[in-house]
Structure 1
């Protein structure tokens, strides 16, 4: 199956390897509080599990990704139904680059490939080390300085961007919230300029999220005396929110497809006028009327957009049915209860039903997440 390509970037020691291993372990089994699981190749499952075992071992941490090594991890999002069937309606491919590429010269062939991939990416997962974020509150903004090359790459694309703040348990213990973190990061001129540019381009740019995660959970490790080395405390890991970015990828792909189609329509009013005059329901109804043009649009976009190819090849029928259901439920004012929606996913009879069920349950989960962490969805909806 064609995979949704996500480029994972972050400064050295931002926790990319730990995050991906934790994501695998969290989703290796279908859990009631998540409602799905992931399948990976046996070779990758073994590698990720070995990394995780190094993480939980008393005195070791996994080695950082080598500069010349750019692993690509494919996670097939899967659902086991009540009838024992397994559907895998979409796959996310995470391309993991060494953090040194953000601060190195980029003169190697691998480095050039890294930056070409970042510039062309439609989905960027940017990991921010929670320890370095904490230092921003003391006036140490080296983290933002390291991210300036990424900000520069964002000037020339409209990618969906998920800033994932790792080690969130440390920030939470210090009394910080998504709002206070975002405010503090914007104290740096470069971060604020990037942030404001994305807001100005809300009509064209993909979603922008700031997602707090803890790959290992509260109390598993704390900063040592040097403020950098993480010291393990002997507790059992309990990951928090690691699955949220994966959920957001599918929801934001659907929303970005609807937004891009809307922008491609001739005679479309400017974005501000559109936001004033039309409701989300009106726009969904308009999309439904234009279904005959959808296939032609995606066919044209697929030539240059891997994400559009995924929708065209594996998700188009589900996208159309999803819009139909959204319109119907707007009319009936149906409440979106996450547990109920997860239960419906396990009743799916086809892969298309499983995909529709997942995107609806993911959207409801993200809505609850935004309530718990106000401000995490900066540009989370199709604008």
Structure 2
């Protein structure tokens, strides 16, 4: 069974913990996306459920991650008997956001954690980089870059993130998640944000361009872990909760891209050969006995019959999932559907398709 290592990078307050909790909530039971995720450690499952419950009912926002932690997830697909068939394992690495920006060589514990984080990045199968949507909103509003908070975010948090991304294998997919997209949506489009980042953040431009040159998947993915209307930005910069009914947006998309972009032929499943049944052989025998050069009616019946059988056989293959390989193939197929819909909604998200940035 395949095992994917996915690490999410982001500064403190960018929304890493909330994204993980929302992702687990969306995939906790198989629904419209065709597969589910479960945590191997039952105590961690309880932690994720509590984090999401605190998000929806508590007045305060949950605390961020305190150290590096691994979440051992298993992806499952239900077969025709609603039994869970394991498809693949996903090791999701989470860490304290300040580990990138607040680290000091005098702090041996933090410094060791930073080195561990570098190792995780270099060995990951996919890297998800969370760009704080609230900070991006300030960047979009600060046309002349005179806001000291924005300037510090660009030159500290974002710069440190890009330096860390540059350490990962250049053939490993890197996707930039724009968190809190509900703050930007309606005022700015994805092309607006993309242009601003490429034109005003040299480190971002260089990371994207280096990966583009080696045809490595890289894109911007707008995400709202709780959905529009759940919270509103206050004048003091704090987020005030308004609703107890979150409606996550696009949280499934980073996972879909992470699982498929590294594969040479993502989503291309191996089809089982068509095996004739006893009735099929009887029909074949009758057709051979009855068919004549001038009798096209029997030929039409044979074409209709076997056309129906092929369609039915295909449908049975989708329903009769018995092995991890078959379950994984179905997940890849579902991920392709998610990607197709996302690309239709956000056609400007793919940064690798930009032929040249010289005119930026």
| Alignment TM class, shorter chain as reference | 0.7 to 0.9
> Is residue 179 from structure 1 mapped to residue 191 from structure 2 by the alignment?
yes
2:261 aligned counterpart, secondary structure: helix
Q: Which of 246, 258, 278 does residue 237 from structure 1 map onto?
A: 246
Q: Describe the superposition over 1:183-207 as per-residue Cα deviations: whole angstroms up to 9, x where unpaired.
A: 11112222222222222222xx3x2
Alpha-carbon distance change, 344 to 106 in structure 1, aligned in 2, over 3 angstroms: farther
Q: What is aligned with 2:62?
A: 62
What is the DSSP-based 3-state SS (H/G/I as helix, E as strand, rest coil) of the residue aligned with 2:99?
A: helix
- Residue 147 in structure 1 maps to residue 158 in structure 2: yes
CA distance in 1, matches of 2:86, 2:352: 28
Distance apart, 1:141 and its partner CA: 4.9
CA distance in 1: counterparts of 2:77 and 2:35, whole angstroms: 5
Q: In the alignment, which residue of structure 2 is the partner of 1:71? A: 69
1: CA distance, partners of 2:123 / 2:323: 33
Q: In the alignment, what sits opposite 1:162?
A: 175
> Does the 8 Å contact 1:72/1:94 carry over to 2?
yes
Report the secondary structure of 2:199's partner residue: coil
Aligned-pair CA distance for 1:343: 10
Distance 1:343 1:115, change over 3 A: farther
Corresponding residue of 2:38: 39
Q: Would the aligned equivalents of 2:75 and 2:88 in 1 still touch at CA under 8 Å? A: yes
For the residues of structure 2 that align with 1:343 and 1:223, how far apart are their CA atoms?
Answer: 50
Measure, in 2, the Cα distance between the counterparts of 1:26 and 1:118: 26
Relative distance call for 1:225 and 1:194 in structure 2 (3 A) is same
Count of aligned pairs between the two proteins: 294
Normalising to structure 2: TM-score of the pair?
A: 0.75
Aligned twin of 2:133:
130
What displacement does 1:351 show?
2.3
Q: Whose Rg is larger?
A: 2
Q: TM-score, normalised by structure 1?
A: 0.71
Query: Aligned equivalents of 2:222 and 2:17: distance in 1?
Result: 17
Look up the match of 1:271.
none
Unpaired runs of 5+ residues, structure 2, are 106-110, 143-149, 272-313, 354-360
Q: How does 1:189-200 map to 2 (within 5 A)?
A: 189-200=202-213
Alignment match, 1:298: none
Change (3 A) 1:65 1:244: same
Structure 1, unmatched stretches of 5+, are 259-318, 326-340
Residue 300 (structure 1) aligns with: none
The structure-2 alpha-carbon separation of the partners of 1:128 and 1:346, relative to structure 1 and needing over 3 Å to count, comes to farther
Pairwise CA distance, 1:116: 3.1
After superposition, the Cα gap between the structure-2 partners of 1:234 and 1:370, relative to the gap in structure 1 and judged at 3 Å, is same
Q: Is the 2:181–2:223 Cα contact (8 Å) retained in structure 1?
A: yes
Contact 1:168 1:213 in 2 (8 A): yes
